[in-house]
Amino acid sequence: MRGQANPVRAYGPILLMAAVLGALPLLAASNTLLNAMVLALIIALAAQGWNILGGYGGQFSFGHAAFFGMGAYCTAILQTRFGVNAYIAFAAAVAVGSLVGLAIGYLSFRSGLRGSYFALGTLAFAEVFRILANASAFTGGAAGVLIKLDVRPETFQFASRAVYFWIALGLVTAVMLVNRWIERSRFGAWLVAIRENEDAAKALGVDTFAVKLKAITLSAAITAVSGAFYAQYFLFLDAGIAFGPWISVEALLAPIIGGLGTVFGPVIGALGLHFVSEMTRHVTGRIPGIDLVLYGALLVVMVAFARDGIIGLLMKLRARLAGGRA
């Protein structure tokens, strides 16, 4: 955690970034661009959730789709089957997502799962959910769920893509602020201590089980927000979208590429990934799986040359510039 004693220096850059991005729809309101941006911000949210547990806490999950999908399905099913108001459904979806996080965390951490065992455990949960959602009539089976198109603010549906963009940006910004606040709190210090050395943390009085549980619950809640917003934006989902490995992969890739355990890392990583994948789509056309090939290549490059992600590179650059001036 870098020293940010001054609140303006701690929170200022986050608000500045939000203001700059927020002006985007006023300057270039092409629907294609906004669409890409909304999707990138949804990924950013999922990645921010993953980053709490993985980036700060060092508990790498391969199954954040479990929380994303839970958020998405709850939002959709509560509206379509039970006629619940969209906003209430959204809130309930986040609550259910965080409870699922708590439950998976309890089972995994109580049984002492660490490292790759924890990663595989979470992957297994996500896959079980995907198979169940695909098979069960309650979740619409393989056909998925369609939220009725009804464009009114009361139903959380808007005619303008810019409104979705601003809401997504607001959510991402809010999570960044929470994230920064955690960095400056005892909970954050304990979480990072667990990542660095769990035994040392225990010796210093850290209840590692409780801290990890809190982290996975918050992590799941944020990723469930991402899933719920996805459902609300696209108004359609199926098991492959909601619980599929694609979102688990993007949620962990964005922070790794952007910078693990940093506030800006997951957001920069998600925006960067989507920029790159859009560009390749323009160049190569739609080759199935090209995204994954590209992501794999990027990951190899980052692991080989930039362990601390884009944020780490920027920090190094800044240090070098500061050193050059001195």
What element of type H or E holds 133?
helix 115-135
Closer of 150 and 196 to other proteins (Cβ): 196
Closest to other proteins by CB, 53 vs 192, is 192
Rank residues 56 and 125 by Cβ distance to other proteins and give the closer one: 56
Cβ 261 to other proteins, closest distance in Å? Answer: 9
Contacting residues toward other proteins, per CB under 8 A: 1, 5, 184-186, 189-190, 192-193, 195-197, 199-208
Kindly state the smallest distance separating residue 188's Cβ from other proteins, in Å.
9
Nearer to other proteins, 175 or 260 (CB): 260
Task: Measure the CA–CA gap between 183 and 170, rounded to whole angstroms.
Answer: 20
Q: Could you identify the residue written with the tokens 């910078």? A: 259
Identity of the residue, 237 or 260, whose beta carbon is nearer to other proteins in the bound complex: 260
Nearest approach, Cβ of residue 184 and other proteins (Å): 5
Alpha helices per DSSP H over 142-260? 161-183, 186-196, 198-203, 208-234, 239-243, 245-258
* Least distance CB 273 / other proteins (angstroms): 25
**DSSP string across 184-200:** TSHHHHHHHHHHH-HHH
Return the H-helix or E-strand segment holding 146: strand 145-146
Pair 195, 54: CB distance under 8 Å: no
Shortest distance in whole angstroms from residue 87 CB to other proteins: 34
CB nearer to other proteins: give 100 or 263: 263
Q: What is the C-alpha radius of gyration for the chain, rounded to an integer number of angstroms?
A: 20
- Smallest distance, other proteins to C-beta of residue 185, A: 6
H-helix or E-strand containing 156?
none
- Integer CA distances (angstroms), 164 to 25, 42, 90, in order: 11, 10, 14
